[in-house]
Structure 1
Amino acid sequence: MRTVLHIGMNKTGSTSLQNALHRDRAALRSSGMLYPEAGCGLSGTAVIFQYELSRVLGYSNTPAGSEGDAGKLKADLENEITAHNPNLLILSSEYFCLRRDISRLQQFLAGHDLTVVVYLRRHDFWYASLYAQAVASIPGAFPWSPGFAGYVDWLARHPDHFHSYGALLDHWRAAFPAANIVVRPLTHDLHRNEAGKPETLNMVHDFFLQISTPLPEHLAHIELRRDNRSAGPVQVQEAELNRRVQRGEAVGDFEIFPQLVEAEAVQRVILTQAADYAYIAEKYLGQTMQPLFSTAGVTV
């Protein structure tokens, strides 16, 4: 069976895409495409996100499922496939970006003609979104030193996430052909079009374009809903500062930047990733003269 596995990354529109696939499950099924309910759930997410699928296969920050869990999930998935007889199976969880053993997933999807789709953002914008999410979601004390630069330094010490995009892609290429891995750089918040207006990317349209599958007619004019939107940079930094003050923490010279990307630590990260951007462009996009993301004008 032809199967598309969307592996994120997080903060690249994954929630918006998954919500769209969930909202239009019935119409997708009528068009020969299945976004299954099997593997959905976990932490009260009902049938929107396929986090249970990734957890059972070991891609999670919680204990992996047993072989029995995987067997039951596979049976449930095969029953759903039999019931709807789709031409295309769509699976999605950004937890597949975690550094985990891929063999269980290979076994689970044995016999499937698999295409892996991943969306990437330039690290300064990606880290800014991760920081906003962390401030909003982490309970109790923050594990990083005060400020956005402290958060970036903390990320660098936690290799569980693939902050080297090349390492992430090579992890999957070790198991599946490079031709089966679709890499999409998210540049809509970095560049401007000829009219001087910000470019916008409808994640739903782009996703179906990448997997070479026409959108169902009722989805042709769908508007992307910005789910899981991050707060602005000043508000996020103020939220972190207020939390620390309320806890009686020493915050030192906590500086609030009008734009997070001005932080020197992030500029350093971008330059560190420049070689990786060039490698990805050549290896996965067939571009030898243009990197995945431009680092022109980035200085420390």
Structure 2
Amino acid sequence: MSKVVLHIGTEKTGTTSIQHFMSQNRQALLAKGIVYPNLGSRKDAHFDLVNSVHPLDNGGRHMEFLGPVTQPVDFLWNKLEECINEHPNKTIVLSAEHFSSRLREHALKYIRDFFEKLSITPQIIIYLRPQADYIESSYSTEIKAGSPKVFKKVMEQYQSQSLRYDYEQLIDLWSSFFNKDSINIIPYEKSSIGDDIRLNFLSAIGVTDLSGLDLAKAKLNKKWSNPMLEFARLANARMTHITGQQRLDFLTFAQEIIDIELKPQPSHLMTIEQYNEVMAYYESSNARMCKKYMPNRQVLFMDEVKLNPFRETVSTPFLTQFDFIKIIYTLFLKGYK
């Protein structure tokens, strides 16, 4: 009988690296008994599989960043069933962080019923990142996507986003539909995943022989510095007429200038007080989750906080007015059009 691995995220835990690796190594993995199916228009991840059931929990809406959907709910899931039947005794691996970030009770019931019909208990893999780091990284993604939101607003909202940052509630939800013993929770920190998230994932899905696999690292999702994030936020708020590829080209050009002219160093978006506030807020729920789902682990996160400098105060600017003018002047000199 086929085995199914459902990699459900969470977001900002190396999912893009895992998905790129899995898609680039489809044939080599198949030779090792691992099937990474092509389902939908996205060839790297299974977003379309998530998108097909997304309306069940989201007022009939599909995910906003994907194209229009013309197929019925069952279409891709029927394709998945065909794939499973075509590959008996192999491991089918599905990966999309939006399984955990977007789907709720109705979609999870659909997925549970789908696998029960096939007499399959999927193994679920989920990586969890320290909430404070997750908040900072999520903010960066929002700005890259075009948001004009100030970071202060994020700090005012994080406590209300329970199913995003309260991991106990998230895992409780999934364990109410799937066997809790089939949920493999992996803290997204070096002591748990090592230096390469891809190797950790391969181990989690049972691949120990790395021969034939292309492990060259691609440049994916380059991290933006705090000055770059603030410059992009200002651009998002005031240059709404620049969209699509034109916007991306402009910000890529600006990023090159900021890196050269300002030479920004890695740093936190939060002050140390804010960082500790976030981790303290979720400390109890993290501990309860460990007790229920990871009884051999005392605390969820063991590693020391990243050594990057913290923001000095909540009013310390991410980008000074002087540096902003310097960037604009350099853009002018280089003749961006």
TM-score of the superposed pair, with normalisation by structure 2: 0.69
Q: CA RMSD in A?
A: 3.1
Instruction: Measure the CA separation in 2 of the matches of 1:28 and 1:258.
Output: 38
Identify unmatched segments of 5+ residues in structure 2. Answer: 241-265, 306-312, 314-337
The one-character-per-residue Cα deviations of 1:201-220 (angstroms, maximum 9, x if unpaired) are 3112101212334345212x
Matching residue of 1:254: none
The one-character-per-residue Cα deviations of 1:107-165 (angstroms, maximum 9, x if unpaired) are 222221311100111011111111111011035xx3x4x3x232232344455x52101
Structure (1 or 2) with the larger CA radius of gyration: 2
Structure 2 residue matching 1:212: 3-state secondary structure: coil
Matching residue of 2:292: 283
Residue of 225, 237, 242 corresponding to 2:230: 237
Instruction: Measure the CA separation in 1 of the matches of 2:92 and 2:145.
Output: 32
Matching residue of 2:263: none
User: Which stretch shifts more, 200-209 or 70-79?
Assistant: 70-79
| Higher normalized helix content (fraction of residues) | 2
Matching residue of 2:268: 259
CA contact 1:204–1:224 (8 Å) conserved in 2: no
Matching residue of 2:113: 107
Instruction: Give, in angstroms, the shift of residue 169 of structure 1.
Output: 0.7
Instruction: Measure the CA separation in 2 of the matches of 1:121 and 1:226.
Output: 21
Matching residue of 2:91: 88
Identify unmatched segments of 5+ residues in structure 1. Answer: 192-198, 248-256
Instruction: Give, in angstroms, the shift of residue 245 of structure 1.
Output: 6.0
Instruction: Measure the CA separation in 2 of the matches of 1:287 and 1:261.
Output: 31
Residue of 260, 268, 273 corresponding to 2:282: 273
TM-score of the superposed pair, with normalisation by structure 1: 0.77
Matched letter for residue 272 of structure 1: Y
The one-character-per-residue Cα deviations of 1:175-234 (angstroms, maximum 9, x if unpaired) are 12221111111113xx7xxxxxxx953112101212334345212x72444522321233
Matched letter for residue 301 of structure 2: F
CA contact 1:22–1:47 (8 Å) conserved in 2: yes
* Alignment length (residue pairs): 267
- 1:218 paired with 2:226, answer no
% identical equivalent positions: 22
Instruction: Give, in angstroms, the shift of residue 29 of structure 1.
Output: 1.6
Instruction: Measure the CA separation in 1 of the matches of 2:203 and 2:49.
Output: 25
CA contact 2:194–2:200 (8 Å) conserved in 1: no
